Structure 1
Amino acid sequence: MSSGHDDSTCSSVDERADTSGRGRAGLNRRRFLQTTAALTAAAGGSGAGIASPGKAAAAAAQESIEEVIVALGADTRVMDPDLDQGLNDMYRLIFNTPLSVDDEGLPVADLAESWEFADDTTLRLMLRQDAVWQDGEPLTADDFVFTWERMNDPERESTNVQGFSPWLADVIAIDDYTVEMRTSVPYAPALVELDGFWIAPRHFIEEVGDEAFGLKPLGSGPYQVVEWQKDQFLSLEAASTWWGEPQPFPRVRFVIIPDTFTRAAALLAGDAHVVSEPPVAMVPQIEGSGTAYVTQAPDWRIQFIQFPHQDSRRENTPEIDNKLVRQALNYALDREAIATAVGQGNFDVVPGPWFGSSWAYPANAAELGYRYDPERARELLAEAGYADGFTFYFGTSNGFSLMDNELMQACVPYFQDIGLQVEFTSLEWAAFDPARDENQFSAYYLGLSGSTDPHGSPNQYMTSQGRTRGFYDTDPELEEVIWQGATIVDFEERQTYYQEVIFPMMIDVAPWIFLWTPSSIMAVDNRIEYQQGPQPYVEVMKMTAAG
């Protein structure tokens, strides 16, 4: 595991970035961005250090794929979606939810084949009766009740319950195949958010216990777990009990390869069939290999720099609580320049906390949002009492999301330019996530699998009722406004509220450094047909064998 910068670019980039914050005299952001782009392009153009397809790959091209190998940058912490919601790539093959979300962002049937609102606070789900667990036991309304009870068990410290407890009051089994989900208030995003309500098997967990379930779970999805070695691999096989569309492959194997270039090399060497988030600079090499191609699409993720609550960040960093400081940091970055020079056109800058096409943005959102204005940033820091700057403990994952390390390295000189002393840390996800738990940062880069409803991301990371480690309790008025927006069920009234009340307040409070939405990029073996959609993960069930 890496404990610092990406070694492939570190020697040149660090010299310019001067992450200690002591080298402002020699700082040149333009040269930094040009050099970063050139280094990345050189890595892709020459293919230095990247394995090319060998004899094994050529021979394999004549064979059908019995086990598709998917290379990801990080693993889940535990194979229990109630405790870690990190990897839909895996979970969607093992588990099910009441409803799913299609590529248009609309709710569609999953375990519930139909649904209706009996009143403003009662959602009735009619379950499909052919769904079974992977041991053949029927999946019933009682499993829905158990899932809710399990989420609310204080001894388990569920992380998923935080997304539901603020609005979901109770889950009731009317009969074996009818469930009522009763909300504490009228809640507009309910149908979309049930896409994350992973149903757990009562009979199995009561027999083996939570710990055993988290190591080798029993699901109701198309594939069942054969073996999981954390941070190494997950082996799945097609479940004979599956009740949905046929599985495209007999077996699926996820392998964890944190480094993006190494992931791409595995594809070119024939050691993987699908690679998530390959280096952008290697796309021409992959496309020209004759054995693989790249598929990509703008997705629903929103990426930003998180200002954690004071209980979830580094000690003695009170400056983050000052709104003027947060505004200054938003003015400090030239997002367009970074997205163009480093992101190479794979990132769309957004003015706020939603993906670019969200209906929550007003028509003049770009004008209301932050522009690149370092002079204004310095003025705000001085007004806040930090004319001489402060030490900014800034972190990012390395290889978890598309170009995370490179993009955040490019931000460092901008922060230095307004007077901050930047302590920059880049870690592979297996080390970065615990570092967040240990409160090592003032702020850090984060990318969400964004909800198609604009309540999702702000609720998760800006309110006390959302996920842990977010920007919560820092501005109670913002939290109140966010939740008011979720209770408006009339669409036109709700849209007006988001555009005229919530968005302007977001800009003023500056709970994040607003950045961009990325494209999902996947590299795929020619023997597989696959088109990446807006869901920011690998969807094995949408693949077919080529030919």
Structure 2
Amino acid sequence: MKKYLAMILVFAMTFAMVTGCSNPGETTPTDAPTPTDPAAPGETPAANTELTPTGEETVSDKDTINIAVDREPATLNPGGVMSNVSEIVMMNTMDTLLKFDKTATPQPNLATEWEALDDTTWQFKLREDVYFTNGEHFTAKDVVYSFNRLATTTTGPSALTHIDLTGLEAVDDYTVKIKTTEPYAFLEAQLCQAVMSIVNEKAITDMGEEAHGRAPVGTGAFKVGNWVAGESITLERNDTYWGEAAPLKNIVLKIMTEGTSRTMNLETGDIDLNCRLQVTDIDRVDESEDTYVLAGPQNTLRYICLNTSVEPLNNVNVRKALYHATDTELIRETIYGVKSSEKATGPVPPTFPGKNNDLPEYTYDPEKAKELLAAEGFENGFEVSFIYLANTTNNMFAEMLQAMWAEVGVTLVLQPTESGTLSTMLNAGDYQVGTAATDMKMCDAGEGLYSFFHSSSRGSSTDRTWLNDPEVDAILDKIVTTLDAEERNALVYEAQALIHDLCPMIYICHPWRVYGVRSDVRGLSVLPYDMEDYSKLYFVNED
């Protein structure tokens, strides 16, 4: 079949996405770019974020797709230990009040319409034809229960930072009021997040939190069928779903932590979709007649997180020394690829409004690193631990970093670990140095900075630096309560300079999402935010 390789930033899509987030309602969704032939050697490849059928293709009767994911979730309960895989399952088996479209503009979902009654009070009208997979009818009481429940969970409280639970009210069965603690610019985007998925009180009461976390009851296009620990999670089509029925009956998520294994299984046909294609495998997957590559930009930052609350990383000059000891561009080129990532010069993606392009660069300079360490009394270096998800790619990352820091006298003790333990340690601040990829889930720089660096975000799945700086907190508080986009972006610009000078993280890159796909799979779109919609997937017949 015709091959497509997407290894360029999709400027049109990203621009529409970020402006849509900053000014909800002013931007309409745009069609995905039309796929083109691969570029010749030395040329810039064309963008490809979506593959749809041609008029000559016919739909296959295959009803089960096998998808490789890179980790096993700890739980599928909203507000539990969250990971990209748990969020993907939630967003395909549960529903939120609102949902993002392809440009990350909030659209109706369980809520059909909504309005701001005043600066801090919002009213939402709900669908009346929705049922949970246990047969319970969805009402406003489920919304109230779901949000109140989050306050008692592991990561849920951070999602409620700006929501006043005392003002949460089921006005009637299909109307709910939500109050915020102050004017909050991002409520609509917040209600699109997986952590805000609506659950059923009876289901959790009857099953208990732990059992519900293995087989949650939701209202989405699929329901969780069988979860075989360490092997797979099967999603089954929800035949009572209120929306359009999914073409496929079964989605089998196969847990494959090693990138090489995912690619080999894609090539043999044991899996149909590889959600985490290694950079080193892009060309071979694209050149095969049996597979193709689908890729596009993400609102994700890959970085080295420095726990600013523990010694000696609570010393800003030590953090700056470690930055100067890190060849970030070499790591990017080796691990993430220059064609499938964007250089990170700060925490904000390059096309976001408010992006500060004037931040001074922490250049790779081992001698400068040694000088800074000596000035702080560490002329003989020190020992520090590094936690990361154990897989081939991260092992390479860790070994490169270990060698770089050894040049300035810092001994990096490697601590590879599995996904659940890693998330728990990061959420608890039980680490010194780690590597993380954090998504600006609400597609707005201001909200992203708040979730990354505000002291109230400690313990959440987004704060990996444990920064606690009153000046940073003050400007971030102002950002989230400023409703005017232009004023907010000016504050975002200023906040980046403050945060950058504190050096709580070492920026590596903005990686793109790269999928390896069997040639007969259709219906997948690469979205700018970390979400995969499986309800549109299907197969076509091939000659």
Normalising by structure 1, report the TM-score: 0.81
Superposed, 1:128-277 pairs within 5 Å as 128-153=127-152, 157-169=153-165, 170-196=167-193, 197-277=196-276
Match of 1:319 among 298, 312, 316: 312
CA contact (8 A) 1:391 1:420 kept: yes
Match of 1:81 among 78, 102, 107: 78
Partner-residue secondary structure (3-state), 1:133: coil
Shift of 1:431: 5.1
Shift of 1:384: 2.1
Partner-residue secondary structure (3-state), 2:434: strand
Match of 2:444 among 453, 459, 477: 453
Structure 1 counterpart of 2:388: 396
Shift of 1:436: 4.6
Partner-residue secondary structure (3-state), 1:113: strand
Structure 2 counterpart of 1:364: 358
Structure 1 counterpart of 2:377: 385
- The one-letter amino acid of 1:465's match is S
Q: Provide Cα deviations, 1:348-367, integer angstroms capped at 9, x if missing partner.
A: 121222222221312434xx
CA contact (8 A) 1:163 1:460 kept: no
- The one-letter amino acid of 1:382's match is A
In the alignment, the residues of structure 2 paired with residue 79 and residue 89 of structure 1 have an alpha-carbon distance, to the nearest angstrom, of 10
In the alignment, the residues of structure 2 paired with residue 406 and residue 103 of structure 1 have an alpha-carbon distance, to the nearest angstrom, of 34
Partner-residue secondary structure (3-state), 1:129: coil
Superposed, 1:476-491 pairs within 5 Å as 476-491=470-485
Structure 1 counterpart of 2:54: none
CA contact (8 A) 2:341 2:512 kept: yes
Partner-residue secondary structure (3-state), 1:405: helix
1:406 to 2:406 alignment? no
CA contact (8 A) 1:74 1:257 kept: yes
1:374 to 2:366 alignment? yes
- The one-letter amino acid of 2:394's match is D
Identify if the C-alpha distance between structure 1 residues 363 and 211 changes in structure 2 by more than 3 Å, giving closer, same or farther.
closer
Structure 2 counterpart of 1:519: 512
What 5-or-longer segments of structure 1 have no aligned partner? 1-61, 311-316
CA contact (8 A) 2:66 2:252 kept: yes
In the alignment, the residues of structure 2 paired with residue 509 and residue 236 of structure 1 have an alpha-carbon distance, to the nearest angstrom, of 44
Alignment RMSD, CA only?
Answer: 2.4
In the alignment, the residues of structure 2 paired with residue 218 and residue 390 of structure 1 have an alpha-carbon distance, to the nearest angstrom, of 49
Identify if the C-alpha distance between structure 1 residues 232 and 96 changes in structure 2 by more than 3 Å, giving closer, same or farther.
same
CA contact (8 A) 1:292 1:523 kept: yes
Shift of 1:454: 1.9
Partner-residue secondary structure (3-state), 1:319: coil
Structure 2 counterpart of 1:313: none
- The one-letter amino acid of 2:269's match is G
Identify if the C-alpha distance between structure 1 residues 230 and 308 changes in structure 2 by more than 3 Å, giving closer, same or farther.
farther
In the alignment, the residues of structure 1 paired with residue 210 and residue 410 of structure 2 have an alpha-carbon distance, to the nearest angstrom, of 45
In the alignment, the residues of structure 1 paired with residue 428 and residue 154 of structure 2 have an alpha-carbon distance, to the nearest angstrom, of 19
Identify if the C-alpha distance between structure 1 residues 75 and 206 changes in structure 2 by more than 3 Å, giving closer, same or farther.
same
In the alignment, the residues of structure 1 paired with residue 529 and residue 500 of structure 2 have an alpha-carbon distance, to the nearest angstrom, of 27
Q: Provide Cα deviations, 1:187-235, integer angstroms capped at 9, x if missing partner.
A: 1121111122111112322333323312221110001122112332111
In the alignment, the residues of structure 2 paired with residue 494 and residue 281 of structure 1 have an alpha-carbon distance, to the nearest angstrom, of 40
1:427 to 2:417 alignment? yes
- The one-letter amino acid of 1:491's match is A
Match of 1:497 among 491, 505, 528: 491
Identify if the C-alpha distance between structure 1 residues 435 and 122 changes in structure 2 by more than 3 Å, giving closer, same or farther.
closer
Q: Provide Cα deviations, 1:466-488, integer angstroms capped at 9, x if missing partner.
A: 14174336323222322221111
Q: Provide Cα deviations, 1:95-148, integer angstroms capped at 9, x if missing partner.
A: 111112223222122211222111111122121222221233321111000012
Match of 1:462 among 440, 444, 453: 453
CA contact (8 A) 1:93 1:223 kept: yes
CA contact (8 A) 2:304 2:433 kept: yes
What 5-or-longer segments of structure 2 have no aligned partner? 1-58
Partner-residue secondary structure (3-state), 2:501: helix
- The one-letter amino acid of 1:516's match is C
Percent of paired sites with the same residue: 24
Identify if the C-alpha distance between structure 1 residues 435 and 489 changes in structure 2 by more than 3 Å, giving closer, same or farther.
closer
Q: Provide Cα deviations, 1:215-266, integer angstroms capped at 9, x if missing partner.
A: 2211100011221123321112111111112202011111111111111111
In the alignment, the residues of structure 2 paired with residue 209 and residue 531 of structure 1 have an alpha-carbon distance, to the nearest angstrom, of 35
Identify if the C-alpha distance between structure 1 residues 333 and 68 changes in structure 2 by more than 3 Å, giving closer, same or farther.
same
Normalising by structure 2, report the TM-score: 0.81
Structure 2 counterpart of 1:280: 279
